[in-house]
Amino acid sequence: MPKQAKELKALQVKRLSEPGRHAVGGAPAGLSLNITDTGARSWIFRVTVGRNRRHIGLGPYPEVSLAEARERALEMKREISAGIDPVEERRVERAALAVEQRQRTTFEDAFERYYEEKVQGELKNAKHIKQWRSTLTTYAFPVIGDKAVASITVEDILAVLRPIWSTKNETASRVRQRIEAVLDWSKVMELREGENPARWKGNLQQILPSPNKVQKENRYPAVALDEIADWFRVLRTREGIAARALEFLTLTASRSGEVRGALWDEIDLANGIWTIPGERMKARREHRVPLSTAAVDLLANQPRLMDCPYVFASSKNGQMSDMTISAVMRRIQAAEEKEGRPGFLDTRSRRPAVPHGLRSSFRDWAAERTNYPRDMAEMALAHNVGSAVERA
């Protein structure tokens, strides 16, 4: 006969403190209080179900009292006598609960959790954080926002992307990447199963046109190469800080945000170098811009405002808005049209040029009017060149 454990009272159980499993005796047999090395306590019921030995958790102590633990153990003994396996029953219940949760969690629900836990936790740029929400709110939520994240298919993703893939390809590509990230997270959280329908390689790649080909047709409108000198002369007749910022942008082939956020501390006029820190670059890497004589002269003549770190400050001594620089180009175009001239139009789309298109103008100039290697032009634009190993 196996040795019967001595039946403990509630006060005796309360005094137990040694790590290990302590049998508490009484009915039913097999009930123990488990104490971990950290002092955490919980009930374990050891019982035989058919030919299998089960160790079943009955909850933490003291939330579950000795009397409650014995009652739960007795109830399980009754279930086992009736042919029910409590462990298997729990597994089925958990699986059913997981299915219910997957069916109940919509794409928008999953996004909100991912946004809070990952996007806001990892991204530092407030503009990029805002873009995550705005792009999915605009393009994804109207189509798949209310759909269970577990049931989203390739057709659903195509319903989001196809209306904007050709006309707004850069935005569409970012929407696809963000949907893919949310669905990857959902799979790890066991909210969905199977392949990610928003994956590009080997999936949407076989259905949608390549972004590189589409974006070439839908790039930002640029000033034509044969007209860039005339455009620049017109720009130089314009007064104001915004016009000088646009002039500096043209001379450095930089992005609007990099110019608008330029600080005097980043500029070495003596050596003609503008060092943009990684946190202000799209690629998140430091970028050194060699300044031409014209760019150095522009900066040398640019007044420095007291207690303002920006090279091109707003009227309130803060950072200039993107619309301020764009407005200069629009006014130039309007003045040209008022004089009966077509203005400065992109050679492909015949749309009026915009500030970001000046980078395309620079790239065309480097390719068609100079002998500089392609990689040098790409590096000047702060684009990735070569493989990750080559870049390192």
Report the range of poorest mean pLDDT among 11-15, 22-26, 54-58, 282-286: 54-58
CB-CB contact of 58 with 45 (8 Å): yes
Q: How many CB atoms lie within 10 A of CB 122?
A: 8
Whether residues 241 and 367 fall in one domain:
yes
Q: Tell me, yes or no, whether 271 and 327 share the same domain.
A: yes
Both 188 and 163 in a single domain? Answer: yes
> Which positions ≥6 away from 362 have C-beta within 8 Å?
253, 377, 380, 381
Name the token pair of 375: 């990689």
Structural domain of 84: 10-100
Instruction: Single out the residue in 67, 83, 100 at which a domain terminates.
Output: 100
Side-chain-facing half-sphere of 277: CA atoms under 13 Å: 8
Task: Kindly report the CATH number assigned to the domain that includes residue 357.
Answer: 1.10.443.10
pLDDT band at 322 (very low <50, low <70, confident <90, very high): confident
- DSSP codes, 137-177: IIIIHHHHTTSBGGG--HHHHHHHHHHHHTTSHHHHHHHHH
Q: Tell me how far apart the alpha carbons of residues 287 and 20 are, in angstroms, rounded to a whole number.
A: 60
β strands within the chain, DSSP E? 20-23, 31-35, 41-49, 52-60, 267-268, 273-276, 287-290
- The reply to whether 1 falls in a domain is no
Return the CATH number at 185: 1.10.150.130
Query: Per-residue pLDDT averaged across 335-363, rounded?
Result: 92
Residue 312's nearest CA partner among 363, 258, 271 is: 258
Domains contained in the chain, number: 3
Residue 285 phi/psi, 5° resolution?
Answer: -125, 145
Q: Per this entry, what is the length of the chain?
A: 392
Residue pair 22/10 in contact by the 8 Å Cβ criterion: no
CA 19 to chain centre: 45
Cβ 263 vs Cβ 311: under 8 Å: yes
Residue 173 to residue 165: CA distance in whole angstroms? 8
Are 292 and 313 part of one and the same domain? yes
Return d(Cα 127, Cα 110) in angstroms, integer: 21
41-60 pLDDT per residue, tens = 998 888 887 677 777 888 88
Nearest to 215 by CA among 160, 172, 250, 163: 172
Same domain, 64 and 115: no
Quickly state the pLDDT bin for 75 (edges 50, 70, 90).
confident
> Which comes out higher in pLDDT, residue 231 or 122?
231
359 shares a domain with 241: yes
| CATH value at residue 37 | 3.30.160.390
Would 22 be classed as within a structural domain? yes
Q: How many CA atoms lie less than 13 Å away from 145 in the CB half-sphere?
A: 11
CA 22 distance to own-chain centroid: 50
What is the predicted pLDDT for the residue at 210? Answer: 87
Q: Does residue 301 have a pLDDT over 90?
A: yes
Residues 246 and 323 in one domain: yes
CA distances from 179 to 38, 86, 166, 167, 182 (A): 42, 40, 18, 19, 5
Confidence band of 1 (pLDDT split at 50, 70, 90): very low
Query: Exposed, middle or buried: residue 54 (CB in 10 Å: 0-12, 13-18, 19+)?
Result: middle
Last residue of a domain, one of 100, 116, 150: 100
pLDDT for res 229: 94
% of the chain at pLDDT higher than 70: 91
Closest to 18 measured CA to CA, from 43, 48, 39: 39
Q: Report yes or no on 2 lying in a domain.
A: no
Q: Summarize pLDDT for 266-300 with one digit per residue, the tens.
A: 999 999 999 999 999 988 889 999 999 999 999 99
